[in-house]
Chain A
Amino acid sequence: MKKLLSIFAVAAFAFSANAGTLDDVKNRGFLKCGVTTGLAGFAAPDDSGEWAGLDADMCRAVAVAVFGDRSKVEFITTTGKSRFPTLASGEVDMLARNTTWTISRDVNLGFEFVGVNFYDGQGFMVPSALGVSSATELDGATVCIQTGTTTELNLADFFRLNGISYEALPIETNDEGKENLFAGRCDVYTTDASGLSSTRAAASNPNKWKVLPEIISKEPLGPLVRHGDHQWGDVVRWSLNAMIIAEELGVTSENVDAQMSSNVPEVLRLLGVEGNYGEMLELSNDWAYQIIKQIGNYSESYEANVGPDTPLEIARGLNALWTQGGILYAPPFR
C-alpha cells in the first residue's frame, strides 16, 4: 500500500510539476506551435503542404532560436475557441495565431503576450453588388462572425453604438465564414482587416468583394505563452524582437553573412559575434543569426506573406518601422 501511494504521489507530482518550457522543448526535440486552422498569409499550408505565413514564420523563428533548424516545429491547428485551452493545458508551447492582446486575456486567462507581430483592426467585407459603401448602412444585415473572438464583442458594441440592428451568424473557422458569405447565408463577414484581405484573396473573383472603409477596433496581434514561465517568454519575445531589430539594422537573410564583419556594434551583438546574449537566454550564441539566415528579418517575412506583392496586398501602414511612419518598435539589443 505504501508503495502504491508513493507511485500515486509521484504520478500526481509529475502531472502537476511544470519544468521550464524551454527544457521541455529541448528534450522533446521540436517545438509545438498553435496556429490557425488556415488563414492565407498568416498560417496556412502552401502548395507543397508546408505551413507558411507571418505567424508560421514566428513559430519557425522560435524553433530556429532553440534548435537552429527551421523544420523542428510541429504546427497544431486551433480554432478561435480551442486556442486558449490548448495553450493553457500545455498541448502547445506557444500560440502564434493572430490573437488580439487584451487585458483580460493577459491577466485573467493566465497568459503572457510577448509582443505584437501584426497591428490590425476589425473591418467588414460585403459583396460589391450589395451597393453598400459604409458599415453604418448595414442595418438589419446578417453578419458572419467567428465565435469566441474580440471581434464578436466589438461587433455587438459597434451596432449598439450606432443604434442599428443585425443578425449574428456564429461560425467557428475562417473557412466556414468564407463558405457562408460566398453562399449568401450572410451579407457581411467581419474579422480583422488582414483576415478579410486573406479571405478576399482566396475568392474566385476578388473584385466581387469589397472591404468597407471602417476599421472599428484596434487589434494588436501577437504571439503568447503561458504566464509564469519567464525564461520561455523571453525566448519567444526576443525571437520576434530579433527579426524587427534586424530590419532596423538592415540585416537580411541575403547579407547576414557579410554583416558578420560589420562595424556596427549592435549588428555584431545581434549576430552573436560580440557579447553572450545567447547564453543569457540559454540558447546558442548564433540564435539570432540563424533566425535571420533561415527565416529573414521582419520585413522579408512581411513582404513574402502579406505585403503588397502577395495576393493579400496589405500595405505596411501601422506595421512599418517607427522610423518609417509605423509603430513597429523593438527595445534595444544590448
Chain B
Amino acid sequence: MRSKLGFFSDEKFRSIFFQTLVVGLFALGLFFVINTTSYNLEKRNIATGWSFLNNPAGFDISFSPFLEFKSTDTHLKVYFVGVLNTLLVSVTGCIAATILGFILGIVRLSSNWLLSRLVYIYVEFSRNVPLLLQIILWYSILIQLPRVKQSLQILDVFYISNRGLYSPRPIFESGFSYVSIAIVLALISSFLIKRWAKKRQDTTGQQFPVFSSSIGLIFVIPLILFFILGSPLSFEHPEMKGFNFKGGLVIRPEFIAMFLALSIYTAAFISEIVRAGIMSVSKGQREASAAIGLKQTWIMRLIIIPQALRVIVPPLTSQYLNLTKNSSLGIAVGYADLVHGFGGISLNQTGQAIECMAIVMATYLSISLTISFFMNIYNRSIQFKEK
C-alpha cells in the first residue's frame, strides 16, 4: 500500500518532478526579470529600440588602426571599431602569451636552479596580483616615458615617447603584389613539400631537408623577385609637426599596456599548464627515447611535446577565452575596445544601456564560442588516433 508520499519513493517520478520544478522556477524567474525590466523602462519613459545604431556617434575615436573613424559615423561603426580593437589585443596577446608561456613552462622544469626559481617567482607574482593593477602599472610606467618633444630616437627612424612608439610605415607600390603572390605560392608549396617528405620518410626512411628548402622558397625567391622588380617598397617616416608626429606607424601606450599586461599575466598560467603537461608524460617515455639514442631536443619535440599537448590544449583554450574576456579591462587605461567604445561611450551618449550591453555580451559570447570551436578541432587533431 502506498502512503501519501509514495510517489516520492519512485525514483523516476522524483527526478521528473524536480527537473520540472527547476525549469519552471527558471522560466518564472526569467519572466519576472523581463517583465520588470520592460515595466520599469516604460514607467521611466526610457525609449527602447535599435534605431540608435544608425544615428551619428558625434564623438571621435582616435585609436582605430583598421577603419577610418569620423565623428559623423554611426554607432554601428563604433561597434565595429570596438570589435576590431578587441580582436587586435586578444589575438596578439594570445600569440605572445602562448610563446612566452611555453618557454617559461619548459624553463621552469630546467635543472638550472636559478632559472627555474626566477620563473617560479615570475609565475607566483603575475598570477597573484590582480590583472587590473598590472594594466595600470604598465600604463603608469609608459606615461612616464619622455614627452613627445623629447622623444627617444633609435636608429634615426624609431621614436619613443609617452604618446607611443613611432616607426616608419611601409608603402607598397604597384609591383609589390607580385612579391606577395610569390610568398603565398612559396608557403603553399612548402606545405606540400612537408607532406610529401613525411610520406616518403614513412615509406622509404629517407629524409628530406624540409626546413632549409622551405626557407629558400619563402625568403630567397620573393627577395630575388623583389629586386628584379626594382624594390617596389618605400617607407613613410614619422615627422614632428606641430604638436605630434605626423605619418609613420604608431603603437599607442594604451595598446602596449594592455598587450604587455594581458600576455604576461596569461603566460604565467600557460607556463603552469605546459609544466603540468610535460610532467604528465611518464618518465619511461623520456628514458626509452634516450635509450634509442635520440638527441635531447628531438626527445622534447618528437616524444614529450606531442603527448603533453593532449593535456595542455583543453586548459589552454580556457586561457585564450580568459585573455579575450580580460581585454575588456581596456577601459581602465582608455584602450578603445568593445566595452570602452560601444559598451561605454555609445551606451552613455545614447542611454540605450540594455541594447548596448546585450550586443556587447552577444559579441563576447560569439568570439569565445568561435575560439572554442577552433581549439576543439585542434584538440581532436592531436588526440591519440586509434588505429
List the interface of chain A (C-beta within 8 A of B).
8, 11-12, 15-16, 18, 80-81, 84-85, 88, 104-105, 107-110, 130, 138-142, 147-148, 152-153, 155-157, 159-160, 166-172, 176, 179-180, 183-185, 187, 226-228
Contact = CB atoms under 8 A, between A and B. Distances in A.
Contacts of A167: 62, 244
A106 to B, nearest CB: 10
B2 interface: no
Nearest to B144: A183
Nearest to B44: A110
Contact of A81 (B144, B243, B253, B344): B344
Interface in B29-85: 32, 35-36, 39-40, 43-47, 58-62, 71-72
Nearest to B58: A153
29 contacts: A12-B32, A18-B43, A81-B347, A85-B353, A88-B353, A109-B351, A110-B44, A140-B241, A141-B244, A142-B163, A142-B244, A147-B344, A148-B344, A153-B71, A156-B60, A156-B71, A157-B71, A159-B60, A168-B59, A169-B62, A170-B61, A170-B334, A170-B340, A172-B331, A176-B334, A180-B143, A183-B162, A227-B45, A228-B44
Interface residues of B, number: 41
B349 interface: yes
A228 B246 contact: no
A147 B82 CA distance: 15
B280 interface: no
A152 B345 contact: yes
B44 A153 contact: no
A140 B144 CA distance: 22
A158 B234 CA distance: 36
Contacts of B246: 140
Contacts of B47: 108
B336 interface: yes
B344 A140 contact: no
B28 interface: yes
A36 B161 CA distance: 32
Given A15-B32, A130-B243, A183-B143, 16 more contacts: A8-B28, A139-B242, A140-B242, A140-B243, A147-B59, A147-B345, A147-B348, A155-B59, A157-B58, A167-B62, A168-B59, A170-B345, A172-B334, A184-B148, A185-B162, A228-B43
Contacts of A168: 59-62
Contact of A184 (B45, B58, B147, B348): B147
B35 A12 contact: yes
Contacts of B162: 183-185
A312 B256 CA distance: 36
B46 A109 contact: yes
Interface in B330-354: 331, 334, 336, 340, 344-345, 347-349, 351, 353
B59 A156 contact: yes
Contacts of A147: 59, 340, 344-345, 348
Given A108-B351, A109-B46, A168-B60, A15 B344 contact: no
A166 B348 CA distance: 22
Contacts of A84: 348, 351
B44 A88 contact: yes
Nearest to A156: B71
Contacts of A109: 46, 351
Contacts of A16: 36, 39-40
A92 to B, nearest CB: 14
B346 to A, nearest CB: 9
B243 A187 contact: yes
Contacts of B40: 16
Contacts of B28: 8
B163 A185 contact: yes
B32 A8 contact: yes
B218 to A, nearest CB: 38
Contacts of A171: 334
A155 B144 CA distance: 27
A15 B143 contact: no
